[in-house]
Amino acid sequence: MSIGDIALSASARANLAALTNTTNLLAQTQNALATGKTVNSASDNAAAYFASQGFLNSANQLNTVKSSLSTALETVNSTDNSISDVTSVINQLQGLATQALGTTNTDTRAGLASQFNALTTQLDQLVNDATFNGTNLLNSTGNSLVVYFDASNATSLTITGVNITSAGLLGSNNTATSSWSTSASIQQSQSYLLTALSTLTTDASNFGGNATLIQTRQDFTSNLITSLTNASNDLVQADSNVEGANLQALQAQDQLGITSLGISGTLAQAILRIL
């Protein structure tokens, strides 16, 4: 006998249809609990699914921006730290000039002048080594760093480099004139060193301000990513409490459906026996 030849009573068909529907709902609920989502594909809820994906795509793009901001922030912080190191070298140079001015012995002055010249060479090496991620913002005013704040590169910050090499800070006085044989040459070096310290203070302040701005934008981007992710989850995420309650109810309903279907079959057999 083929399947098409099997005769079912109206009550049996109704019970079978109800049981099939319960089984389908039970599978959906179990899937929601397993994945943590009520919407796992467009077939579940197209509007919610594509809206959720849109939020996630935006969050992923901003994650790239966030990574770029992190690198830029480290670059600026590294630059700021290098300025502090250069400032320490300038203070050492000032100490040498002060010692030279405190003596009239030409040999002593010449020795201190030699140390001065050697230290300015070390200063230049320090500045040239202050390269982070391929960018050096301290050895040339022609260098710059462009920091983008959004995925479309519509808003940005351009940080212009400075020249704090010995020549950039002291000009031609980056070497001890005439081996500091005269007090006037020493005083001239001291004057340029004071100007250099003022320049370094200004540069450090500017880079510090840029670092603060980048940090603020990085925090803003992180918060926006969190908001977009939450918005995406709200559209598709399952409530474990609700789904758990649904699971228990559907399991009970499934057992009742099986029992009802069995009763329908038993009644049909009884009627056939009477006939």
Do 236 and 39 meet the contact criterion of CB atoms below 8 Å apart?
A: yes
- Residue 267's pLDDT is 46
Report the top-level CATH class of 48-235. Answer: mainly alpha
Residue 36 pLDDT greater than 90, yes or no? no
| 159 and 76 Cβ atoms separated by less than 8 Å | yes
Predicted structure pTM score: 0.76
Task: Report pLDDT digits (tens) over 86-117.
Answer: 999 999 999 999 999 999 999 999 999 999 99
Q: Where are the domains of the chain?
A: 3-36+238-274, 48-235
- pLDDT tens-digit readout, 208-266: 999 999 999 999 999 999 999 999 988 877 555 665 666 556 566 556 556 655 555 55
Residue 66 clears pLDDT 60, i.e. is over it: yes
Tell me what the mean pLDDT of segment 49-59 comes to.
94
- State pLDDT tens for residues 171-196: 999 999 999 999 999 999 999 999 99
